Amino acid sequence: MKTKPIINSYQDLLDYEKSIALKVDLELSSFKNEFQLLKEDLNPTTLAFKSVSKLMSNDKSAGIVNNFVGDSVNFLLKKVLLRNSGLLTRIAVPLLAKAPITNMLTNLLKNNAPGWINNLTNKITQKTKQEK
């Protein structure tokens, strides 16, 4: 059980109020530190959830790239990888695998395309300069 503070004067009241304010500040800073540690501990989990959400969400802003990648993945799965498999496998596997693979490749192309384009143009310009 907590004991009640003995307050006999106004100065005792002010001192008690200061001690409570210090305790609150100490607890608040302790809470902030614990919360920061918790955020740091959960950072890998957050990154994993973001990666999974990128795989499962369709990016509508990359229309042509998304269509091209989707059709390419569909062709590779149905006509190349699963050409000798059974009917059920030829139907089920592309349905399950097309969306995550397409989303992953679309995000990869969308994020890294400027670098690839710059590398390609640099190589082309280097070859044309060497030929002259």
CA atoms of 119 and 117, how far apart (whole Å): 5
What's the pLDDT score for residue 61? 66
Name the residue with tokens 């592309």.
Answer: 94
Residues 6+ apart with CB under 8 A from 14: none
Q: Which residue numbers in the chain have pLDDT < 70?
A: 1, 55-56, 58-62, 113, 116-118, 131-132
CA atoms of 74 and 19, how far apart (whole Å): 69
